[in-house]
A and B are shown apart, each in its own frame.
Chain A
Amino acid sequence: MTILDLKRLVKDFGGLRAVDGLNLSVQEGKILGLIGPNGAGKSTVFNCIAGVYPPTEGEIYFDGTKINNVKPWNLCKQGLARTFQIVKPFSSKTVLYNVMVGSYVTTDKRSVAEDRALAVLETLSLLDKKDIKAGNLTIADRKRLEIARALATEPKLLLLDEVMAGLRPTEVDEMVKIIMGLRDSGMTIFIIEHIMRAIMALSDWIVVIHFGRKISEGTPKDVASDEKVIKAYLGEEYGVS
């Protein structure tokens, strides 16, 4: 079943067309990877989906309803959660506080919000850091906190924007394990990532965009051997023998 469907999505910034007629759909229970060189428009696609920018043209359907002009907070209530490429923790507050902001979305009761936040922290092995101020965390833990906050809203679809950028290889492996665990628990995930090793291992299906256009899609294996993808990443002059 399709949970997220983009139909001819276009986003202009002034004269610049950041996303150009993108068609894409995310299947329930699967991990879709979105890759592309720097400036390809990946984060813009996420921001359009998450309600930060209204699309210039085209339609976005989430869970069967059109969400072109739905505000971010309402999307979150409908079950769409996201993380930010540049992490945005509530630095002066504790880890638990950060996650509780997310878990308050479906409840008004403090005890319910706190219990759910603690459960999420447990699954992400952040429980021992729950009383640390978010501003004092390492970058790996901050990325994890981003995911924890998003998970606390109990989403149907999770948008992950470069949650592994800046991590050490061992930390990347841990993050891959976490995301695999989320998929196994039935979560649908749409992920942007630059670390090829990670995205190849994680994704069920990969879409490649370049200058806002889709240039290829397929299983990780197919995409990796696609000549157009290699050229987009390495330049026209790079010969594929």
Chain B
Amino acid sequence: MTREKLQSLSLVLIGVIAFGLPLLVRSPTYLHILVLLFLYAYLTTSWNLVGGFAGVLPLGHSTFVGIGAYTSTVLALQYGVSPWIGMIIGGGLAVIVGVLIGLPTFKMRGAYFALATIAFAEGIRVMVENIEYLGPFKLNGPRGLQIPPLNTGLANFMFAEKEPYYYIILVMLIAVLALTYFISRSKLGYYLSAGGEEPEAAMALGVNVARCKLIAMAMSSFLTALAGTFWAQFTLFIHPKSVMSLDISFEIAFIALIGGRGSIAGPVLGAIILRPVSDLCRIYFGDKLPGLHLIIFGVLLIVVMIFQPRGLQEPLTKLYNRFLDRFAAQPDRIR
């Protein structure tokens, strides 16, 4: 077996395991944890287009989750629009907001950029918390919106069981991973990494760094908003604290940094490591030590940054490559 074949075989195997997991995991609790795991892997992969490849640290992606969740929910509740259509409209709206936030903020670097994105995200959350009606649209302020679980089924993006949600988010995750892989090998991917690492040199080589970052931001906002709609349909109840809170943005950043920014596997690995920590802490220590998971994240981040500054994907990728080298049949080398 050649190396390439072994590699695709191992990826297919991972895919089969992912698709077959609900047959083994029957408990709704654990399925719920898995759905959130994939949701965060999806969110972080979307974030990674800007935060990883373009080399900046946006900490306001919760805004786009919120925009996606509110847009589809308001359209469904007031006008009976299918959440699938609302999902796309929410994505479009997030692109507009993302570009408007990106235009002024991409001129800043490092901590200034991160702080500016936090400011925008918090500003929008506080506004939504204080708005009952935005024009004809009922946002219902801090009380949020509830989606009555009346018409379940694929067309309404609403299910009584957890399994359909599991498969939907899994497909979304695979799609966004494929997109990331494609972009990382394209001109845009090269330009984003170049502009993120040495903007002056990139500009001298014909890269319009600011425009590339805006394109990445637009894509990232769109994809993040889709996850917002998924979240709304999964929980059937949204309020500003649940879908626009900074906690979401921070958790995405933690997952990305610990898993490995700017890599394809990093966000997935990060989510696999951090999400169970977060959920199990809430289950077992939620009453005595709320917030314990954040302390564990902090400690993990410090340890990872000291020993593997490029994230856990680096040693794991090396291990994976060694495994491929070991078990792939060596083609005859003639010197």
Contact = CB atoms under 8 A, between A and B. Distances in A.
B47 to A, nearest CB: 19
B261 to A, nearest CB: 11
Interface residues of B, number: 19
A73 B190 contact: no
Contacts of B185: 110
B206 A105 contact: yes
B206 A88 contact: no
A42 to B, nearest CB: 17
Contacts of B208: 71, 73
B202 to A, nearest CB: 7
B194 A108 contact: no
Contact of A108 (B187, B193, B204): B187
A181 to B, nearest CB: 22
A82 B208 CA distance: 16
A211 B232 CA distance: 66
A72 B197 contact: no
A77 B206 contact: yes
A203 B202 CA distance: 28
Interface in B190-206: 190-191, 193-194, 197-198, 200-206
Contacts of A92: 197
A53 interface: no
A147 B197 CA distance: 18
Interface in B95-140: none
A93 interface: yes
A120 interface: no
B197 A93 contact: yes
Contact of A113 (B187, B194, B203): B187
B103 to A, nearest CB: 17
Contacts of B206: 73, 76-77, 102, 104-105, 153
B205 A101 contact: yes
B204 A110 contact: no
Interface string A143-165: 00000011011000000000000
Given A110-B186, A110-B187, A90 B204 contact: no
A50 B187 contact: no
Contacts of B202: 90, 101
A103 to B, nearest CB: 9
Interface string A71-99: 11100110001101000111111000100
B216 to A, nearest CB: 16
Contact of A84 (B186, B197, B200): B200
A52 B197 CA distance: 18
A149 B205 contact: yes
Interface in B159-215: 185-187, 190-191, 193-194, 197-198, 200-209
A102 B187 contact: no
Contacts of B186: 110
Nearest to A87: B201
A104 B190 contact: yes
Contacts of A97: 190, 193
Q: Which 4 A-B pairs have the closest CB atoms?
A: A105-B206, A76-B206, A88-B201, A72-B203
26 contacts: A50-B204, A71-B208, A73-B203, A73-B205, A76-B203, A76-B204, A76-B205, A76-B206, A84-B200, A89-B201, A90-B193, A90-B194, A90-B202, A93-B194, A93-B197, A97-B190, A101-B191, A101-B202, A102-B206, A104-B190, A104-B191, A105-B206, A108-B187, A110-B187, A113-B187, A149-B205
Given A76-B203, A93-B193, A101-B202, 16 more contacts: A50-B204, A71-B208, A73-B203, A73-B204, A76-B205, A82-B204, A90-B201, A90-B202, A93-B194, A101-B190, A101-B191, A105-B206, A108-B187, A110-B186, A110-B187, A150-B205
